[in-house]
Chains A and B, each alone.
Chain A
Amino acid sequence: DIQMTQSPSAMSASVGDRVTITCRASQGISNSLAWFQQKPGKVPKRLIYAASSLQSGVPSRFSGSGSGTEFTLTISSLQPEDFATYYCLHYKSYPLTFGQGTKMEIK
C-alpha cells in the first residue's frame, strides 16, 4: 500500500501569510494526487486534482505542485476563511489513502 505523509500536522499562520503544506508518497504516484479542505462540522471540499489542476470555483491563491513522491499545496496569501484542516489523497492504486491532515490555525 502507498502511504501518504503530510507535514506539518499543524501550523499557525497569520492572515496574508504564504503557507505551504507538503505531502510525501511512499512510492511514486505520478500526478495522481488531490487536495481537500475541511472546516469543522463541514463536508470535505476538493481544491486541487491531478496534483496541480485547480477545482472550478476555488480561489486562485490556492495552487498545487509536484509529481512522483513529493507534492505541495500553497496558499499565496492566507485569508480568514482558509483556517481549516487540509488533506492530500493519492489515487494511483488501491487502496486510495489520505494523508493524516494539516490543521491550519490562526496565529
Chain B
Amino acid sequence: EVQLVESGGGLVQPGGSLRLSCAASGFIFSDHYMDWVRQAPGKGLEWVGRSRNKANSYTTEYAASVKGRFSISRDDSKNSLYLQMNSLKIEDTAVYYCARSVYGGSYSDQFDFWGQGTLVTVSS
C-alpha cells in the first residue's frame, strides 16, 4: 500500500526557516519524481515544486512564488523527500502536501497518491 506521511510543520515567525519531510512507503521511491503542493486556508491548490529521480540527476523545478527561498531534496536510502523553506512569509501559510509523481517517463502515476498534509503557519 502506497503511503506518504508529511511531518515538520508548525508555527514560525516571518523570515524564519522550516524543513518539511515526507516519508514514503509501498512503492519504489527512487524511481519516481516527487512533488510538493500547498493549500492556503480556504484557498485553492498551488504547485510548489518537483524533485526528479536519480536517473534525471535529482534536478528540481519550483514555482516562481518560492524560487530562491525553498529547496527540495531527497534521500532515496531513507525513502524520504524534503522541503527546506527559508525566508518564510505570511503568505506561505498553508497545508503542504507531498505527492507521488512521474515514473519512467509516464505520467500515469503523477499525483495519484498524496500525503495527509502538514500545516505551516507563518505569523509573528
Q: Which residue of A lies closest to B66 (CB)?
A: A95
The number of inter-chain residue pairs (CB within 8 angstroms) is 55
A5 within 8 A of B: no
Given contacts A43-B97, A50-B107, A91-B107, contact A55 B44 (CB under 8 A): no
Whether B44 contacts A94 by the Cβ 8 Å rule is no
Main secondary structure of the interface of A (DSSP, over half): loop
Q: Which residue of B lies closest to A38 (CB)?
A: B45
Q: Which residue of A lies closest to B116 (CB)?
A: A43
Q: How far is the CA of A70 from the CA of B22 in the complex (A)?
A: 34
Whether A53 contacts B108 by the Cβ 8 Å rule is yes
B90 within 8 A of A: no
B46 within 8 A of A: yes
Whether A94 contacts B110 by the Cβ 8 Å rule is no
Whether B107 contacts A32 by the Cβ 8 Å rule is yes
Whether A89 contacts B111 by the Cβ 8 Å rule is yes
What's the least CB distance linking B65 to chain A, in Å?
A: 9
Question: What are 28 of the A-B contact pairs (CB < 8 Å)?
Answer: A1-B64, A34-B110, A34-B111, A36-B111, A43-B97, A43-B116, A44-B111, A44-B114, A46-B112, A49-B107, A49-B108, A49-B110, A49-B112, A50-B107, A50-B108, A89-B45, A89-B47, A91-B107, A91-B110, A94-B50, A95-B63, A96-B50, A98-B44, A98-B47, A99-B44, A100-B44, A101-B44, A101-B45
